């Protein structure tokens, strides 16, 4: 954003020169009449799914039930700004779930677009293969408007929900039966699925093999984004300024320092193969899963317990990372709440490039499953 420093949530960048120009995405929205009220906070270098930032503070989830809850990340400030109604729309980035996760934990709509659907010029990168730009909003309608503007369409998309009769959805049975999915998240997912079925949608319940294989690939061989993030930040990590980084982010970046080249070649090849498998497997269906397997956890224990932070971060990003690796556009939709009023969410995903079809379906799904 012209006139402000692009810190990417890192204190080490705080004294850089302000940007001279708006990023193209900011400029497109401004020329449409939108007004930018300011920049929002995020996890340092967008490298966490929890939204904590020791340099500039951690935005508190507005749904907190007495004890402060995490906002989700990395686009933490964007989510909180929309959730507390400071703004109707905020932009974020998503490399492993950084739009969809905070949207889910704050009860918002979050749209991860296919990478490069929108210009990434002027956007601070994390992992160039996986990075995506997208909006956090209070409705799919608003996300569609932003999509029209960022794609510079001369004719706006229809904002009238269509019938879902005959639309196919694949509910991943392996995710549904995973004991890590909490009861409230599962119950609200099943309620949403029943609403879809009642509308005439066709629901197939079985494991999505490409999705499950991607989960296994990341677990056994590592995450492609980690290697790309290390390559981007290696000059900083090799300098004295590395001491100014969030120790947790620095540790995650350093963990990929010795990832062998042969492993990277295998990961790139597996990604391409799994993308093709996913398209064939879905065959026009949309994948439906929870966005996050749990509601927003309390903040304070995560500040004080390193191992808890690591495990919670992995658990929070677990169901969004495969979509990023496979370059799937995804829309996180509120699905209800747990007994404490903390939001839950469902995630609709499609093969790369099918953003418009996904958004149209999400508009109709939202109308059916909106919490009473």
Check residues 155 and 232 and name the one with the higher pLDDT: 232
Is residue 188 scored above 70 in pLDDT? yes
DSSP code of residue 163 = P
pLDDT, tens only, 281-319: 999 999 999 999 999 999 999 999 999 999 999 999 999
CA distance 74 to 104: 12
Q: In the block, which residue shows the tokens 């009860």?
A: 107
pLDDT, tens only, 131-148: 999 999 999 999 999 999
Question: What percent of the chain shows pLDDT beyond 70?
Answer: 99
Whether pTM > 0.95 for this model: the answer is yes
Region 149-153: mean pLDDT is: 95
Which contiguous run of DSSP H or E holds residue 81? Answer: helix 76-83
Hey, is 148 helix, strand or coil? helix
Q: Is the dihedral of CA 271, 251, 91, 211 positive or negative?
A: positive
pLDDT, tens only, 353-366: 999 999 999 999 99
Q: What local confidence, expressed as pLDDT, does residue 292 receive?
A: 99
Tell me the pLDDT of the chain averaged across its residues: 97
The CA angle 75-218-7, to the nearest 5 degrees, is 25
DSSP strands (E only) in 167-295:
168-172, 202-206, 286-290
The CA angle 361-144-85, to the nearest 5 degrees, is 115
Q: What local confidence, expressed as pLDDT, does residue 65 receive?
A: 86
Region 319-332: mean pLDDT is: 99
Q: What local confidence, expressed as pLDDT, does residue 189 receive?
A: 98
Report residue 231 as tokens.
Answer: 């390559």
Domain edges within the chain = 42-369
**Which among 50, 68, 59 is positioned nearest to 299, based on CA atoms?**
68
Q: What local confidence, expressed as pLDDT, does residue 209 receive?
A: 99
Q: What local confidence, expressed as pLDDT, does residue 154 receive?
A: 86
CA distance 319 to 305: 23
Is residue 371 scored above 90 in pLDDT? no
Q: Classify domain 42-369 at the CATH superfamily level.
A: Amidase signature (AS) domain (3.90.1300.10)
Q: What local confidence, expressed as pLDDT, does residue 185 receive?
A: 99
Region 211-218: mean pLDDT is: 98
Hey, is 49 helix, strand or coil? coil
pLDDT, tens only, 2-43: 999 999 999 999 999 999 999 999 999 999 999 999 999 999
> Rg of the chain's alpha carbons, rounded to an integer?
19
Is residue 211 scored above 80 in pLDDT? yes
DSSP code of residue 69 = B
Backbone angles phi and psi of 241, in degrees to 5 = -70, -15
pLDDT, tens only, 85-116: 999 999 999 999 999 999 999 999 999 999 99
């Amino acid at each position: 954003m012209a006139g402000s420093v692009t810190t990417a949530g890192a204190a080490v960048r705080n004294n850089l020169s302000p940007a001279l120009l708006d990023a193209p995405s900011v400029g497109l929205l401004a020329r449409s009449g939108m007004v930018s009220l300011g920049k929002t906070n995020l996890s340092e270098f967008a490298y966490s799914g929890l939204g904590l930032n020791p340099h500039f503070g951690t935005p508190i989830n507005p749904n907190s039930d007495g004890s402060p809850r995490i906002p989700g990340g990395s686009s933490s400030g964007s989510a909180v700004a929309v959730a507390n109604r400071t703004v109707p729309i905020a932009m974020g980035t998503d490399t492993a779930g950084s739009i969809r996760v905070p949207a889910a934990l704050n009860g918002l709509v979050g749209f991860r677009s296919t990478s490069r659907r929108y210009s990434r010029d002027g956007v601070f990168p994390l992992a160039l293969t996986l990075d995506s730009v997208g909006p956090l909003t209070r409705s799919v309608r608003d996300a569609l408007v932003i999509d029209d503007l960022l794609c510079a369409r001369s004719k706006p998309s229809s904002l009238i929900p269509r019938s879902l009769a005959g639309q196919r959805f694949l509910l991943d049975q392996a995710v549904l039966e995973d004991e890590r999915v909490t009861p409230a998240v599962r119950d609200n997912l099943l309620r949403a699925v029943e609403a879809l079925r009642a509308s005439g949608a066709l629901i197939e319940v079985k494991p999505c093999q490409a999705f499950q294989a991607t989960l296994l690939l990341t677990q056994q061989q590592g995450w492609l984004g980690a290697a790309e993030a290390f390559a981007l930040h290696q000059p900083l990590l090799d300098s004295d300024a590395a001491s100014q980084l969030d120790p947790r982010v620095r540790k995650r970046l350093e963990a990929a320092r010795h990832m062998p080249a042969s492993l990277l070649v295998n990961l790139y090849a597996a990604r391409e193969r799994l993308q093709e498998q996913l398209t064939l497997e879905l065959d026009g269906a949309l994948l439906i899963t929870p966005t996050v397997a749990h509601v927003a956890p309390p903040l304070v224990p995560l500040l004080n317990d390193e191992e808890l932070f690591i495990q919670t971060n992995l658990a929070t990003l677990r169901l969004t990372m495969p979509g990023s690796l496979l370059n799937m556009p995804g829309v996180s939709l509120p699905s209800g709440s747990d007994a404490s009023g903390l939001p839950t969410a469902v995630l609709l995903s499609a093969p790369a490039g099918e953003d418009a079809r996904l958004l149209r379906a999400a508009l109709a799904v939202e109308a059916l499953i909106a919490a009473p």
